[in-house]
Chain A
Amino acid sequence: MPMSDKTQRISRLILQQMNGGLDDSEEQELNQWLTSSEGNRKWYEQAMANKFYLPRRLKEYEEAEAIRQDGWNKIIAARQPGIYSISKRMAIAAAVLILFSVGAIYWLSRDRKAGNPALVIARQYNNDVPPGGNKAVLTLGNGAQIVLNDAKNGAVAQQGKANVEKMDSGQITYNLTQSNILRGTPEILWNTLATPRGGQYRVVLADGSKVWLNASSSLRFPSSFSGKTRQVILTGGEAYFEVAKNVSMPFIVNVSSRSEATSPLEGGGMQVEVLGTYFDIMAYEDEKAVKATLLEGAIKVKSGTALQVLAPGQRAQLGLDGSLQVVDDPDADNAIAWTNGFFQFKRDDIESVMRQLARWYDVDVAYEGKRTTHSFSGVISRDNNASDVLKALEVSDVHFRIEGRKIIVLP
């Protein structure tokens, strides 16, 4: 079966792009393919959301290739008389599931008779809350503000040597243009990209570094970089950085507090210095610690006089008391699940889970009755309405009520 010629071409284009070698006409061809179908575009966005995704999937595909022949032999063997199923494990799994379901139904119906309203499974919520989306406001050097969700694709502004372009629904790019440089506009303008609660956005800075902003986050950066270092300021929220390599000009993220609230940032904040690397910084005021998680490369984290160097898979935490700690994080990938459009929890407590939901769905959270002490683990898409996420959480002995834009957590 020959693969379609188009698919083959596009695969080569994507492969070139991953290795940084796409010229204009090729980029055009790729863009045409992306706009030709909603599915293509959605898949591409998912696949390119972070640079670890496709390589991992390809690795799995390679493993598939290695076990394919063996798998075929198993299918053939299973067709011989005497062997019922190739997957006894799955059959047993199904049987156990049925047993448990029967047990659960019995148990639930017994409790219903006893009048325990908390155990009615098909809970209906009064109203639902839609998920957040690509929303942000860009503040230019002169203080002018552009609401990016409303802006058309294409040129948005010119700032110093850079043209600011909106690429698609969720990204702006700072392009240094030759003509701007020649025209001799030397000034560097500081811009601020800020997402509201329920928003997210991406920006490609003038040096090619990419930054993903999560909900309720704000990043200040210059329209172009000059001098010995590249400095940006994360004034609260969460951002994932893929910093373009430039050994002679380290990239420094200054993490500082947005308000006077009691937050770990009060004592001067944190500084992260990098050469070229991939990492996530979470600095929400309502979190117990400011966290910098490193996925690849190396970063130096400074706070006051404390200095720590992180290796990939490690996380630096700045606590409320101002202490700077380094911990190993075997699930460092989790920290950037949001850039792929997922909530990913790993033994998180209910408060931490609800803080994330509050930011993405732009809701308030209140607690009634005894708070659950369970920890939550799992993955769920951020495209879901709030009710779907809550239903998934309810598997774990916790219940919810939605009242307008308020979620009430019940025992």
Chain B
Amino acid sequence: MNEVVDHKPLLTHEVGSLDKPGWRVKAYAGKPLDDKDLEEARSWGERLQVPKYERLLDLLRHTPFTKEQKAELQRWSSLYAVRLEESAGLDVVYDGEQQRTEMYDWAVSHSNGFERRGSVRAFDNKYYSKAAVVGPISLGSPFHNAEFSYLVSVAEAELKIPVTGAYTIADWSFDERNRTPENLLLPAAERTRQRKAARRDFVLEVARNLIRPNLEALITLGARWIQVDEPGASTEADELDLFVDSFNASVEGLNAMFSTHLCFSDYNLFFPAIERMEHCRQYAVGFANYDSRELGTSDEERPGYQVIKKFRDLPYKPALGLGVLDIHSDFIESPELVRDRVLYAVKVFGDPNRIHVTPDCGLRTRSWKVAYEKLRNMTAGVRMARQQLGLPSTE
């Protein structure tokens, strides 16, 4: 995979999540399915040419589902998602987290040392069940192995496995390893020093004792490209060095290609901290959300992409996963718009090998119909860019 990634210009891939089909969500929750759900399963099965999808339809007609049947339905959902991405023409695929609850809960559910504390808001009207770490952190059981093994068995394209990163897991958790509240009568500087030391210890414990063993298990199974998702990385501007240290502690010395996904932030904050993140071979970063929808390849016409120069200048020359699809909007980017965003990035980098093309972030906020159209136009735009750059076609 390293060779594929390092030497394939304008490689296309997804970033992480996809919406879960209604039939999968309802079936798993034990809710009744209706004709609309069955039609959704049928029409996408037909459209994506999912092998033997009629078996899924048979299964969906026989409610209630046993635990084993629910697991089977999750695998069907995985298969559909992989086929959607392959059908859209992506070079590297994944199943959009169809077998996971969500990116935080899934990791915590398979870990030791955490206790649930209740729901808190993540963003907008989205909530998640936040946990506290109350004791030593360790891996309960490798939590992506079953998913990865299944995907290997069905994917025709190359695979990439996203894993939630240590900094984000720690940042989205409470630290109750020491339950003594702060003494507010102590000097603030001393309290800050103690808080920072505890925080560092906490984040690195998650990296070493939870994330790293899970990565090792995936690599043993044959995973070659692992994307470390860190949406929380820029939450605390003064902790970017800690984020970098946690990434390095998670992956250093392991034999796979590691990339990271950063989203929706002031990306200038990451510099110079990530100059030390040399084990990261690719940064998948969202830019379309900040960009104009006008065509063109000048600086003025591509305001959302001005910061990419900083990624270009990183000393270890990673690839940039160039976000070209706004995942917060149903607006379908035209192939021409994708083309121009890609051509602009290639012009800035001067090397198409260092540009990969992706959505800004996981597409779970969009319907499959919108996600599919966006991804198809993304790959069409990349074909146009290849042609314009005189690069060989991948088809």
Question: Are A and B bound to each other?
Answer: no
Q: Residues on B close to A: CB < 8 A?
A: none
